[in-house]
């Protein structure tokens, strides 16, 4: 029972540490260790998209992540097609990207 509760606590702790963010890709900035994804909550169709700062969130994708190349391509495609994304980050900072539609 004790170990079951411990496992349950660990599971909740893992879930609690996994974070999700949704938005549109406003910018992708590469550096030597990966890319920074600049996400905007506002649709690129909105006039505020170009100027509004308050809704911006950044997420970092390390180039040591095994599927880095595919994930980067998905982000680039989503930026061009202006598709809204859901990005999850686990405890180990591994990102999972899902397209939510325009």
Partner 1 sequence: MKAKNLVTAGLAFLMTYSSVVKAQDLNPLSAQVATLLDETNKQGMAKVKYAAAEANLSSLVAAGRMDEARKQMSDLITKIASDLVTGQVKADDLKNRSIVTTKKLSKAQIEKISQYISGALTAEQLVDVLKPTNMHYQNLVSALTRYMDVIRSGQQMKAPTSLATIKAGVKDKASIAYARYRLNLLGYQNDAANPELSDDLTEAIKAFQANQGLTADGILGSGSWKILNQDFMGQMTQLRLNIDRTRWLPNDLGATHVFVNLAQQRLRLYVNSELSLDFKTVNGRLDRQTPILFDNLNYLILNPTWTVPQNILLADKIPKFIANPQYVLDLHMKVIDDVTDKEVDPFSVDWTKVTEDHVPYTLVQQPGKFNALGFIKFPLTNPYSIYLHDTNERNLFKENNRLRSSGCVRLEKPFEFAEKLLQAANITTWTADSLRDASENLDPSAETSSRVRLGRSIPVYLFYLTTFVNEKGQVILSNDSYDIDSTSYSVLSQK
Residues that bind partner 1 (CB under 8 A): 26-27, 29-34, 36, 38, 40, 50-51, 53, 56-60, 63-64, 66, 68-69, 72
- Angle among Cα 81, 88, 4 to the nearest 5 degrees reads 155
Least gap, CB of 81 to partner 1 (angstroms):
20
Least gap, CB of 23 to partner 1 (angstroms):
12
Report the residue number, 6 or 29, with the smaller CB distance to partner 1. Answer: 29
Q: Give the pairing type, strands 19-31 and 84-89.
A: antiparallel
Report the residue number, 38 or 83, with the smaller CB distance to partner 1. Answer: 38
Instruction: Report the C-alpha gap between 24 and 48 in whole angstroms.
Output: 13
Handedness of CA 49, 51, 55, 57 (dihedral sign): positive
């Amino acid at each position: 029972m004790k170990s079951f509760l411990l496992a349950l606590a660990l599971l909740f702790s893992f879930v609690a540490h996994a974070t999700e963010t949704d938005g549109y890709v406003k910018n992708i900035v590469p550096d030597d260790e990966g890319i920074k994804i600049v996400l905007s909550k506002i649709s690129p169709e909105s006039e505020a998209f170009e100027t509004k700062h308050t809704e911006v969130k950044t997420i970092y994708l390390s180039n040591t992540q095994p599927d880095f190349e595919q994930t980067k391509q998905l982000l680039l495609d989503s930026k061009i097609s202006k598709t809204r994304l859901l990005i999850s980050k686990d405890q180990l900072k591994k990102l999972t990207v899902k397209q939510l539609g325009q």
